[in-house]
Chains A and B, each alone.
Chain A
Amino acid sequence: MTGASFLRILKGAASAAVVALSLTACSLPGSGPGEREAWLEANDPFEPLNRAIFGINEAADFLVIGPAAYAYNAIVPDPVRESVRSFTANLLSPITIVNQLLQGDFDGAIHATGRFLTNTVLGAGGIADVATAAGIPDQKEDFGQTLAVWGFNEGPYVVLPFLGPSSMRDATGYAVDTLADPVRMWAANTDHEGAYMAKGIAGGIDRRSRVLKEVEDLRRNSVDYYATLRSLYRQQRKADIEEKAAVAQPDFPAFEKTPEAPAKKK
């Protein structure tokens, strides 16, 4: 995908979003019984706009991103894909380190710094993930997670053009991480914006290529794919933030009587 066509799609998405926004800005709770609770639970006041952007993202995925990811998977040999993955992941390490520090997780910061140095020096600039092989697994931290540690709620759900599911908090975090990204600063200061953008696109295609089957499965088995992704995103973020230590379990009450199986009527 060339930069120009990418920008054109981006522009198209932006103008479609503006149209959608001016048509229907917010969803409002219905007046039926329990509808207000359902509306609050969904925590998605921008749902009409979100669904519009989601539709555009899906179209882009169908036309460009998905096919590119399939082709990437089919054409590029495994070891090369591994290297792309390691290289782009390694470039994110400084963001993780800073966020570990901001979260007061000094052990995590030391761990991430060790990874970064190991992979940069011994892994030939990050193309080989020798740290994981040596038993130091990657654990990404972003500013959205830092905000969560600082006590910010996730806020309403938002769907970002091309980036997909997010929340007010996580989108803010993403913006801060991007601005503070040393790789981006280096690219901006040395006229390497093209390389930075290429890195972003390669990373995106790579990420998409890792979930080909999962996406197909979800699309096939969902009755409301948008709502499914919304729920998956939230739960995943919650699990990442709480690092599986104390994920609140949903309540599974005992129902007074288990409903009859439909086959045998009472």
Chain B
Amino acid sequence: MFDRTLTGRRALLKSVAGFAAAATLPLIARTALAQDPGASAFIQKLGDRAIKTFSDKGTKAAAKEKFRALLVEGFDIPYIGRWVLGRYWNVANDAQRQEYMALFERMIVDAYAGRFAEYSGETFKITGARPEGDADSTVTTQIVRPSGPPINVDWRVRKAGATYKIIDVAVEGVSMGVTQRSEFASVIQTNGGQFDGLLKVLRAKVAG
């Protein structure tokens, strides 16, 4: 709103990019078809195992431990943890980074274990996959619920050697990584740019 000229230029760029995209679309479609199906297979396997874990109504602690193992195996938590810090990674020293990583992992596991404890018969189906840069793929899925419309969930998967790991999840176009990154930035900002402010908040979070 304040930079009209910029907006105009961006709109122009966008339309140029649109033409370029249209021209390369058949190419992309071919690449997608020819793409290594490993990423989709990885998501399918992980999803099946996750559903199996939640359907097993064992003790809560045992389920959480199983889920933790699944999460650590399927997600590149160290990568995500660093990515969501953005520029603040460089502000932190080694000791702070190590404490942060430990807290981040605990927080993520707690949050997702709590979410999946409410699992009630949802299923998922893979609807597609597209390559994302050199090493990544986005696997698109739909979570089908017993009631209500299905939810679109996109998994960004990175291949390293022979293993696949999830590095971001987007629910209906909303990226968990982006959300977490702005949240952490805000916490650090409200603490006067001090990294310790974030650690303090995270310590309280995992303790509570």
Whether A153 and B2, one on each chain, are in contact in the complex, defined by CB atoms closer than 8 angstroms, is yes
Complex alpha-carbon distance, A256 and B65, angstroms: 31
> What is the size, in residues, of chain B's interface with A at 8 Å between Cβ atoms?
61
Structural contact, A236 and B173, CB atoms closer than 8 A: yes
Choose among A38, A152, A217 the residue that contacts B189 (Cβ–Cβ < 8 A).
A38
Residues of A within 8 A of B193 (CB): 30, 32-35, 38
The reply to whether B172 and A236 contact each other, CB–CB distance below 8 Å, is: yes
CB distance from B13 to the nearest CB of A (A): 12
Q: Which residues of B contact A154 (CB under 8 A)?
A: 1
4 A-B pairs closest in CB distance: A239-B173, A227-B186, A262-B102, A231-B182
Q: CA A39 – CA B21 in complex, angstroms?
A: 33
Interface flag for A139 (CB, 8 Å): no
B156 touches A252 (CB 8 A): yes
Residues of A within 8 A of B105 (CB): 262
A151 touches B179 (CB 8 A): no
Q: Say whether B183 contacts A250, CB under 8 Å.
A: no
| B111 on the A face (CB < 8 A) | yes
Which A8-34 residues sit within 8 Å CB-CB of chain B?
30, 32-34
The stretch of B36-44, B56-64, B77-85 in contact with A is: B77-85
B82 touches which of A37, A246, A250, A255 (Cβ 8 Å): A255
Contacts of A220 in B (CB 8 A): 114
**Per-residue contact bits, chain A 218-244, to B (CB 8 Å; 1 contact, 0 not):** 001111101110111001101110001
B80 to chain A, nearest CB (A): 10
A35 to B193, CA, bound (A): 7
B199–chain A nearest beta-carbon distance, Å: 11
CB of B104, distance to nearest CB on chain A (Å): 9
Q: How far is the CA of A155 from the CA of B188 in the complex (A)?
A: 23
Chain B residue at minimum C-beta to C-beta distance from A228: B183
Question: Is the pair A250, B114 in contact by a Cβ cutoff of 8 Å?
Answer: no
* Separation of A263 and B111 alpha carbons in the complex (Å): 20
**B185 in contact (CB, < 8 A):** yes
Chain A residues with CB below 8 A from B16, complex form: none
**Among candidates B7, B98, B99, B185, residue contacting A41 with C-beta atoms closer than 8 Å:** B185
Chain A nearest CB from B86 CB (Å) reads 9
Report which B residues bind A (CB closer than 8 A): 1-3, 7-8, 11, 18, 21, 76, 78-79, 81-83, 87-88, 91, 97-99, 101-102, 105, 107, 110-111, 114-115, 118, 132-133, 135-136, 138, 152, 156, 158, 167-168, 172-175, 177-179, 182-190, 192-193, 198, 201-202, 205
Given A37-B87, A239-B173, A250-B175, CB of A230 within 8 Å of CB of B187: no
Report if A2 contacts B (CB, 8 A): no
**A222→B183 contact, CB < 8 A:** yes
Tell me which of A38, A153, A232 contacts B179 (CB under 8 A).
Answer: A232
A30-B193, A235-B175, A262-B99 given as contacts; is B167 within 8 A of A252 (CB)?
Answer: yes
Asked, given contacts A252-B136, A262-B101, whether A151 binds B114 with beta carbons under 8 Å apart, the answer is: no
